[in-house]
Structure 1
């Protein structure tokens, strides 16, 4: 199966790692990244659109057809943010993009980067977890071919990429210990990217993928 994928958030650590796996993978034929600033990568498969307002994609709408996958890796930290603003930049923005893509590409598989401990009930005490849960639930109601919610925990960064968060070099030593003692919470960024690709070509038996599911799907 040939995959033509749209990726958001490719100037962040996770999005860049997912893009990297897509560019390497033989099943991925075309990669379109939509960013607010240039990703700084050149590749025969890669096309880039610089667009600053994700709440209004109408100026680039005609360029978003013909894709059968979207890996939505765009996100913000909730640290220091009020719930209303975090919801606007997480729930509202994601749904604005997803609703348009569902209309333009009904055969699309939509993969969303969420997070471990996301609250599907939308009722818990953690603000970010409630908002992420609401976002997941809303995405799963859209008329995509398939939707998958990816909930990574601690990620081991991919070597050589430019957007790895600076503090990762100080905590990287934790990864092999954590993976051995608590495999349900630790995966690599490479495994996450491969799992997203394989969710399109192979599918998965449930729509929400925790860390153990991400690792299992990456190995298939």
Structure 2
């Protein structure tokens, strides 16, 4: 499979990239970002592109993909809806327009287009528009994500929270299994979805973990 990954420098994207590199069924990986990344595997190629709102200039490099993982995320703290929407909604739809194959959108637990909470409303609206497309689209809604294998969030406050709460993961996994996953489980599930491993189109954390195996 050829898989295109947006947001490979973020915590979720790092997990997805790691599992793509480890899975022999994935023969080609193209990551897209605004900054260079040091590639470490012959099947991985990184494309630097500044404008995620217009991917037409790099469309040829993204052609013939079997799947697209949209892992780009930004904290909503301090942002207006107008500022939060481009990364969460507009760029996600542009990626779906340009990249073919199965599309996996990383949303979040609580996403709902009717929500009064801004981030949940924007993500929910994005989910609905993607799921309405005439193609294979999956939405993953992780809750708490445990970073593993040295992976870290790029957001300072998130790094602090994950570092402080690492000891809670086994407890949360027992008492709230529908809300807890890890970067490797999420990445493996996305690769499995790309291969057609599930019929449900919206997956919460426990379903993500079940698909991951």
TMscore range, shorter length = over 0.9
Which of 145, 150, 158 does residue 140 from structure 2 map onto?
Answer: 150
Partner of 2:108: 115
Structure 1: which 5+ runs fail to align?
none
Partner of 1:217: 211
Matches of 2:24 and 2:94, distance apart in 1: 31
Matched, 1:141 2:132: yes
Structure 2: which 5+ runs fail to align?
none
Q: 1:10-29 alignment to 2 at 5 Å?
A: 10-29=8-27
Q: Any idea what SS the aligned residue of 1:70 has? A: strand
Q: 1:5-154 alignment to 2 at 5 Å?
A: 5-101=3-99, 105=100, 108-119=101-112, 122-144=113-135, 146-154=136-144
The structural deviation recorded for 1:163 is 4.9
1:72 and 1:112 in contact (8 A); partners too: yes
Q: Matched residue pairs, number?
A: 209
Partner of 1:206: 200
Q: Any idea what SS the aligned residue of 1:111 has? A: strand
TM-score by length of 2: 0.93
The alpha-carbon distance between structure 1 residues 62 and 40, as it changes in their structure 2 partners (threshold 3 A), is: same
2:39 and 2:46 in contact (8 A); partners too: no
